[in-house]
Amino acid sequence: MTSKIIYQNGLRTQATHIQSGNSIITDAPTDNKGKGEAFSPTDLVATALASCMLTIMGIKADEMNISIEGTTAEAEKIMESEPRRISQINIHISVPISIDNKSKKILEKTALTCPVAKSLSADLISNISFSWS
């Protein structure tokens, strides 16, 4: 088992990661009857994609003896109705290092093929951009 999720009330859940015991709270977003006081489940999808991309880039960078410490990602999700779903995720990754173009291409391709990216619907529009210092 990966996690246990408890519905608390008021459109809020608490999810606990079984292995570590760490917990996160989710709230329904304000545009869907919620308070928006925490990540919504759909926020977590966009956040998971960005986190996965950075993690996979970190693994590849370590194999290449490159440090990408301080790399950031900004994630935005765009919702659609009928049916209500995530229609688009925009992610911008900023890498604060200067490396050769071949290494950049390897790391970018690695990010784009992370497991979360490969698990999302082909109907989802993903706009991914990179900037390098």
- Helix axis angle, 101-112 relative to 41-63, nearest 10°? 140
Tens digits of pLDDT across the chain (133 residues): 999 999 999 999 999 999 999 999 999 999 999 999 999 999 999 999 999 999 999 999 999 999 999 999 999 999 999 999 999 999 999 999 999 999 999 999 999 999 999 999 999 999 999 999 9
Domain with CATH 3.30.300.20 in the chain: 41-132
| Alpha helix stretches (DSSP H) within the chain | 41-63, 101-112, 115-119
Task: Quote the tokens at residue 111.
Answer: 């990010």
Q: How many CA atoms lie within 13 A of 37 on its CB side?
A: 8
Q: What is the pLDDT of residue 41?
A: 97
CA nearest neighbour of 97 among 50, 53, 49, 57: 57
Report the predicted TM-score, pTM, of the whole model to 2 decimal places: 0.94
Superfamily of domain 41-132: K homology (KH) domain (3.30.300.20)
